[in-house]
Amino acid sequence: MNPLLTAPTEFGALLQRFFAERLIQQQNVSPRTVAAYRDTFKLLLNYVGRATGKPPAMLALCDVDAALVLNFLTHLETERHNTIRTRNARLAAVRAFAHYVASQAPPALHLAQQILAIL
């Protein structure tokens, strides 16, 4: 499998560039949007860590697939008692990252497409 998909450092680098370059520099989103996206990824990384048994620092891009994102969304609704509106806001943040991954990391295109298919 491609190291881009399996190396924790690659996932971390992509996530960092998504926040620093895409959201802040290119899209100039509000600080509240950055904070909301940050909170989403804190929740997601902790969830993925529990689901995979890996600490968040050791997660790779391939650990965050569409099935896991769907399970995360269900977790938000059932265990955290989030509303559909909050769930959809979290999904929007994950989808924005998937769009970024699709454009920046061609080996991960299929993974990104599967996440983007989630409604």
Domains of the chain, CATH where assigned:
3-116 (1.10.150)
CB 95 within 8 A of CB 118: yes
Other C-beta atoms lying within 10 Å of the C-beta of residue 30: 10
CA dist 68 and 51 (Å) reads 8
CA dist 12 and 93 (Å) reads 16
pLDDT tens track for 60-100: 999 999 999 999 999 999 999 999 999 999 999 999 999 99
Mean pLDDT of the chain: 94
| Whole-prediction pTM | 0.93
Other C-beta atoms lying within 10 Å of the C-beta of residue 37: 21
Alpha helices (runs of H) in the chain, residue ranges in sequence order: 3-6, 8-17, 31-52, 66-78, 84-104, 109-116
Say which DSSP state 23 is in. I
